Structure 1
């Protein structure tokens, strides 16, 4: 560390970068235990508080996890491939599993979800997308989706209450044939979707629901479903932690952005 102490970069930041590099190149493999704080203190010739600051940084970046009383371990990263373009594909044939469950059961992971339903005054941005009148209520179906016990994303779907009042959409259970099909049966088929993706830091509620470590960014995917006449009937807000997802799009044709 003698050379590392030279320059303006803080020593704890240099230790963090050294450990980060070892994780990136596989020297410290997934699930491997890091040296103890005492060993790192000796290895780098610094105070224990300096080592702890470096380790805290890597925890906040989602690279390592503390497992008391054993110490710190390299986090096993197995991201979910999130595909917005699959929105309108047919539902799985197995009634007890929705699209998410079917996709990832076969991947060797254990999926589950929670579903809550409420009648709400929607947030202003949702109200605007659904073109609701002032004071008009919406129904929201809130999901937290898990893989192997870890919350991977949230999925909050808003509908004008006047369209779904007294329908099965109001029940906090999975709908085997899909909510899109229910809306079509009610006379509101969705033929187009407007997708928006925002990258930002999470809200306190998102941190709580997704059990996010400090400093974890999220992608916010907002999908507005539109009927043939352009009427919006559904707004879905998906929150995707940046350390757990890869967003994948498929496009037809050979044109690459920037290459006319």
Structure 2
């Protein structure tokens, strides 16, 4: 059997030491010079190849000029099913989700724009070809660190001139605004979850390291008449979250709405 390349063996050994706690979260990895001596290699490039593998796996990060450090994952519990959880109107969903995170300060950057709906948004909102949508784009942060993206989309004609278009916090909640505009509540959410690598735009918005995957959570909200009202696209980095679902047994037969784009 052909032996593994030297850089692979270096990466494997360091990975084991990270896994078993020899190098705990936040610890500095030995310097390149130390690793050259430890693994008895002649080329600094070989050591860097091994370190690059661990960077791409999301295990370590480079902090120049200090060196490489084990990434400390302080994961946020992400609950997709919390959308309709009862809460005071002024409490934003993100603030509600992190309320139990001791000592962590939530914040968000908000941009509001008018866009030509993408195929994904157009299909789920039943908009016509070339239809315009209002987009409310958020980057949500904890202690200043970007934790996820939350971009909501609705038909422009529904919210144009309303409080929903305000490019800042809407204290009573954008869902409350939508409910007033349509004259009824949003009562049903259909959730899709896709696991993938991030786009360049998502890497930039979330300041993601190399090799970090994301979960794309698409939530479509319906009114009581089964009309799709809002589509929210959440991008959740895999190194910053644990996704939690809660289930319960239905006690009555509830007919679920037919999803127009053919999802199961």
TM over 0.5: yes
Q: Which residue of 2 aligns with 1:200?
A: 196
CA contact (8 A) 2:215 2:237 kept: yes
Residue 160 to residue 72, structure 1, CA distance change in 2 (3 Å): same
1:91 touches 1:176 (CA, 8 Å); kept in 2? no
> Does 1:9 find its partner at 2:12?
no
Query: What is the match of residue 101 of structure 1?
Result: 95
Structure 1 residue runs without a partner (length 5+)? 1-5, 255-260
What does residue range 57-136 of structure 1 map to in structure 2 within 5 Å?
Answer: 57-92=53-88, 95=90, 98-104=92-98, 106-107=100-101, 108-136=103-131
Q: Deviation at 1:110?
A: 2.4
Instruction: State the distance in 1 between where 2:243 and 2:8 align.
Output: 30
- Residues 92, 99 of structure 1: 8 Å contact kept: no
The answer on whether the counterparts of 2:117 and 2:130 sit within 8 Å (CA) in structure 1 is no
Q: Is the contact between residue 55 and residue 211 of structure 2 (CA under 8 Å) also seen in structure 1?
A: no
Which of 169, 172, 175 in structure 2 is aligned with 1:174?
169
CA distance in 1, matches of 2:141, 2:195: 21
Find the aligned partners of 1:102 and 1:135 in 2 and give their Cα distance. Answer: 36
- Spell out the pairing of 1:205-216 with structure 2 (5 A cutoff): 205-216=201-212
The structure 2 residue matched to 1:227, chosen from 223, 242, 251, is 223
Contact 2:193 2:217 in 1 (8 A): yes
Q: Is the 8 A contact 1:117 1:140 kept in 2?
A: yes
CA-atom RMSD, angstroms? 1.7
**Which deviates more from structure 2 when the two are superposed, residues 160-169 or residues 12-21?**
12-21
Q: Which runs of 5+ in 2 are unaligned?
A: 251-264
1:191 corresponds to 2:187: yes
Counting matched residue pairs gives 247
- Alignment match of 2:236 (pick from 219, 237, 240): 240
**In the alignment, what sits opposite 1:3?**
none
Q: CA deviation at 1:253?
A: 4.1
Greater than 4 Å deviation, 4+ residue runs: none
Instruction: Give distance in 2, aligned partners of 1:177 and 1:111.
Output: 17
1: CA distance, partners of 2:14 / 2:185: 52
2:6 is the alignment partner of 1:48: no
Q: Residues 91 and 178 of structure 1 are in contact (CA less than 8 Å); yes or no, is this contact kept in structure 2? A: no
Q: Is the 8 A contact 1:155 1:238 kept in 2?
A: yes
Under a length normalisation based on structure 2, what TM-score does the superposition of the two structures give? 0.88
